Structure 1
């Protein structure tokens, strides 16, 4: 299992780095494919089969968000919410408001997260910031896994995710601050070590919250993994949940930090 995780993670890193190196179009395409696949898996978490119209609405919302040049504005989200909550009425109550809201949350979370990932490249020194963010998320996941397995101890939220530990969470947080900061100062332009540390801190905390939320959705749906696409990791959503959830907040933090000297 560990060997599969390492091989899959390594291949994933290579694909991401190549897409970043090829430029904006390649990066947008990669984010779009990953986000749409994650949305398909999110819809699949439902305990019942969704009607086609509801699923189509979800995919349209995610596509709209991903093709926007900046994260979707608040008034656009109000329109999206109204459309989703109108679906049960249009289908003569064959779908409940709760079911529509379930998919709405996924569409907003994945759509806004993907849109923020593509928008990060537009920030001054965008590719550096994006790389720091990816390092923070990857460091959190990797350190939390290995520290949690080796140290063990008290469970973080056993009712939601029985395998996650407090030691793993703390280890992931420390790694997300230290690794991006050190590598950022040594290998990337000197934007400011403390700025890298702030991004690492925010990304780790928000990413772990996002991971727990996805775990809660899976537990509600009675499944262990969102899919089987990635050997050793489960589905696409299992791999990008924290990355997408933290992206909007980190994007805003990046914009604020670039204005500081």
Structure 2
């Protein structure tokens, strides 16, 4: 527990500082997390970093992640990027005479989209407009509030298991407690910045962050069960890997951007 707290304090402080600084500081942080996260992903699937599939998947992930307009370049169409990565991956299966299977190609495409666009959405929110820092803090605040609310409510009054086959410790009561706290945090931002975020939109953001965030956690838990592992990595002592810590973020931020809930 002590190691977990120390890692959380140090890592959390560094993350908050770089988020506030924004710009290339935040970009470098997300780039590092994305690359490490993808390395964890290919390792979870038993693929070597030296494997052609890994290199194509990594390249596809980076293309989806990078903010091309900040480099003075035209943003490539996401659908075109996905198709090109798909084409390259399937070409490898043909050239290897099916030694490299279509299943492996599909896993790399999935990882590139899941991780690449997930972290891209975080960067897009932070640099969306003059309110980027506020909206980023609100989104992260709602996600973390959901985690905290679910944990403590579940410990205090949790009795009914939410999804025991995937995550045996989560409870229905804890899940609802997370939703309530996430909504409260979002409403605090609405009252603090009434000209930027309405109460109605804050309610929707809190609800979306909590529900999608908890689903993101369950998605990662389900995948780890399939692979028979406890953590996706060990880079964060006491917390596991990058994907263990960012599983909610990778689902919530793209959803908030696509539904236009955040005032970008």
TM-score scaled to structure 2, two decimals? Answer: 0.87
Asked if 1:140 is matched to 2:139, the reply is: no
**C-alpha distance in 2, partners of 1:178/1:40?**
36
Which residue is equivalent to 2:44? 45
Contact 2:215 2:248 in 1 (8 A): yes
| Equivalent position to 2:119, from 98, 114, 120 | 114
Asked if 1:5 is matched to 2:4, the reply is: yes
Contact 1:121 1:127 in 2 (8 A): yes
Asked if 1:164 is matched to 2:163, the reply is: no
- Structure 1 residues 48 and 20, CA, compared in 2 at 3 Å: closer, same or farther? closer
Asked if 1:250 is matched to 2:249, the reply is: no
SS in 2 for 1:218: helix
Root-mean-square deviation (CA), in Å?
2.3
**C-alpha distance in 1, partners of 2:187/2:76?**
26
1:62-101 correspondence to structure 2 within 5 Å: 62-69=61-68, 73-101=78-106
**C-alpha distance in 1, partners of 2:232/2:198?**
38
Which residue is equivalent to 2:155? 149
Q: Which runs of 5+ in 2 are unaligned?
A: 69-74
**C-alpha distance in 2, partners of 1:102/1:151?**
39
SS in 2 for 1:93: coil
Q: How many residues align?
A: 257
Shift of 1:184: 4.9
Which residue is equivalent to 1:230? 236
Give deviations 1:38-69, integer Å, cap 9, x for gaps.
11111111146576111111211121122134
Asked if 1:177 is matched to 2:176, the reply is: no
Shift of 1:183: 4.4
SS in 1 for 2:247: helix
Contact 1:161 1:215 in 2 (8 A): yes
